[in-house]
Amino acid sequence: MAHTTGNLNQSQDADILETPLREQRVFEGTLIDVHHMVVRLPDGREALREIVRHKGAAAVVPVDDQGYVTLVRQHRVVVDTVTLEIPAGKLDHAAEDPYACAVRELEEETGLVAQTLTLLCPMITTPGFCTERVRIYLATGLTKSAAHPDADEFLHTVRMPLAQAVAMVMRAEIADGKTALGLLMAWAKLGLGAVPASLPPTP
């Protein structure tokens, strides 16, 4: 059996496609909306899908001329964990250019300004129930400005060798999905060779 990824292939995927029939918003929030969608399954039955509709986001892997990456430490109270993440933030509105969002979030969270932003990938965070897409960028040619995070945003910046951050991903010490993917893709994009996994643990 052939396997495909990406966009729908109407002929090849006909036996797995779900058809949306009707949709109703059941919660309207500041960050997300929650909808109930009824779909027709490939076998003709109907099923309910709970959908979190999200405006989208942008994230940045900032790598300086010394090969160091700047990450942020935040307390993610929803999972009660202090995480190590690449700088990121949600789009102000659904039509906002993710590139502009990436520029803004990088400066707000780290005080860094990039000469070059290169799109690494668009990431679908949780396709089972959420529409959020995060565009992940590689930032190079960095200069330092002043950080100015949002009023309700408290974080620390952490600068470390990119190799060390990638090794932490490979040792499962960084659990955030966009961060793990961004760091690995940045490493590959920069052509730095085999992925390091055996560096000493971070002090």
In terms of DSSP H, where are the helices of 7-152?
Answer: 98-110
Give the Cα separation of 52 and 34 in Å (integer).
5
Let me know whether 97 and 165 are in one domain. Answer: yes
Q: What is the pLDDT of residues 170-192, one digit of tens each?
A: 999 999 999 999 999 999 999 99
64: CB partners within 8 A, 6+ apart: 70, 140, 142
Let me know whether 73 and 110 are in one domain. Answer: yes
Q: What is the pLDDT of residues 108-117, one digit of tens each?
A: 999 999 999 9
The answer to the question of residue 7 being in a domain is yes
The secondary structure of residue 155, as a DSSP letter, is: -
Please check the confidence at residue 202 and state whether its pLDDT lies above 60: no
Judging by beta carbons within 10 Å of its beta carbon (0-12, 13-18, 19+), is residue 104 exposed, middle or buried? middle
How many domains, the chain?
Answer: 2
30: CB partners within 8 A, 6+ apart: none
Let me know whether 114 and 165 are in one domain. Answer: yes
Let me know whether 102 and 118 are in one domain. Answer: yes
Q: Which secondary-structure segment (H or E) carries 167?
A: helix 162-170
Please check the confidence at residue 200 and state whether its pLDDT lies above 70: no
pLDDT at 203: 47
CATH number for the domain spanning 142: value is 3.90.79.10
The answer to the question of residue 196 being in a domain is no
Instruction: With beta carbons less than 8 A apart as the criterion, state whether 27 and 36 touch.
Output: no
pLDDT at 3: 41
Q: Range of 161's domain?
A: 57-189
Let me know whether 64 and 114 are in one domain. Answer: yes
